[in-house]
């Protein structure tokens, strides 16, 4: 069962949402991903790394049939619908996924600053190392190892320009496609940081705020 609870925040203007993926869905996604990893032919067929900017070990696209049958599509559509309703007081009638893909990040891998296509994007977490490691020179509250950082505008008086998120398994974050973001490398662990992302279109009349 999908929990429709959605939390929203506006750290620097654009609304960002957070929802919890059901344990059953996380298990389905991880099993599907593990099967692809074990199948060399399928891994090559679904490889998506050449179309993405990440400097990571492996990235591959999810099959549309699985996205539908696993309940992942329903989770995304319902979460985005609730987010837009809470933030914009409007109800979407369109939710079309462009692509959804998996990022397998390991020690010293990273994702440079980039943005996405479509109208809506997001990322959720399926597996994480027990530790992202420490800084060479520890500084209070500045360890961003393994974190995703959202970027918007520039820092000014009463205005932040970055929003740092420490990944947690089951947690999914939604943001507008134009939101710049980066993922920092981590150290001291050979375990996998596994995330899943998507791009999608919603109703053009809702997305295009200049149409009215």
> Using one digit for the tens of pLDDT, what is the confidence trace for 21-71?
999 999 999 999 999 999 999 999 999 998 889 999 999 999 999 999 999
Q: CA torsion angle for 57, 58, 59, 62 (degrees, to 10)?
A: -150
Residue 3 pLDDT level (bands cut at 50, 70, 90): low
Q: What pLDDT does residue 1 have?
A: 47
Q: What pLDDT was estimated at residue 43?
A: 93
CA angle 176, 182, 183 (to 5 degrees): 120
Dihedrals φ, ψ of 69, to 5°? Answer: -70, -30
Residue 4 confidence (pLDDT): 64
Which among 86, 123, 118 has a CA at the least distance from the CA of 203?
118
Q: How far is CA 149 from CA 61, 144, 152, 156, 179, in A?
A: 23, 8, 10, 18, 10
| pTM of the shown model | 0.94
* Beta strands per DSSP E along 21-119: 58-61, 95-105, 111-114
What are the pLDDT digits (tens) for 199-209? 999 999 999 98
- Angle (CA) 189-192-198 rounded to 5° is 140
Q: At the top level of CATH, which class does the domain 7-202 belong to? A: mainly beta
How is residue 13 written in tokens? Answer: 């203007």
Confidence of residue 189 (pLDDT cuts 50, 70, 90): confident
Residue spans of the domains in the chain: they are 7-202
DSSP assignment of 128-144, as one string? --S-----SS--TT---
pLDDT tens digits, 131-178: 998 887 776 667 899 999 999 998 888 888 999 999 999 999 999 999
């Amino acid at each position: 069962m999908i929990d429709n609870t959605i939390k929203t925040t506006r750290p620097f203007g654009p609304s960002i949402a957070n929802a919890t993926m059901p344990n059953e869905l996380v298990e389905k996604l991880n099993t599907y991903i593990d099967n692809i990893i074990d199948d060399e032919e399928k891994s090559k067929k679904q490889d998506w790394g050449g179309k993405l900017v990440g400097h990571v070990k492996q990235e591959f696209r999810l099959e549309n049939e699985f996205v539908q049958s696993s309940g992942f599509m329903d989770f995304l559509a319902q979460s985005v619908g609730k987010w837009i309703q809470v933030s914009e007081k409007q109800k979407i009638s369109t939710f079309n996924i462009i692509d959804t893909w998996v990022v397998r990040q390991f020690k010293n891998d990273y994702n440079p600053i980039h943005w996405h296509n479509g109208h809506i994007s997001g990322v959720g977490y399926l597996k994480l190392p027990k530790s992202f490691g420490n800084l060479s020179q520890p500084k209070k509250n500045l360890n961003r190892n393994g974190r995703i950082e959202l970027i918007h505008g520039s820092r000014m008086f009463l205005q932040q320009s970055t929003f740092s998120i420490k990944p947690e398994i089951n947690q999914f974050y939604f943001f507008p496609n134009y939101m710049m973001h980066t993922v920092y490398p981590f150290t001291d662990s050979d375990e996998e940081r596994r995330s899943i992302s998507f791009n999608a279109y919603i109703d053009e009349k809702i997305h295009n705020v200049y149409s009215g």
